[in-house]
Amino acid sequence: MEADGWAFHRTADRAAADAREQNRLTIWGWSMLRFGWHALDQAPEDVIDQVVAALRVRD
């Protein structure tokens, strides 16, 4: 899982670096879940539901 904050992605270079890292992890067989700060702060139940659903698919 990765939590994205707006402050970190203010530049195109930072967003591109995250995209490259996510692609690298995907190539290595990892699955990524990304959540913005607002989702974590304002809808944590939705985030938990998505994490649980992803774990069920992986079993």
What are the mean pLDDT values of the chain's consecutive 10-residue runs (59 residues total)?
A: 71 85 92 88 95 88
Count CB atoms within 10 A of the CB of residue 3.
14
pTM of structure:
0.71
CA distances from residue 6 to 24, 43, 47 in whole angstroms, order as listed = 22, 17, 18
- The letter for the amino acid at 11 is T
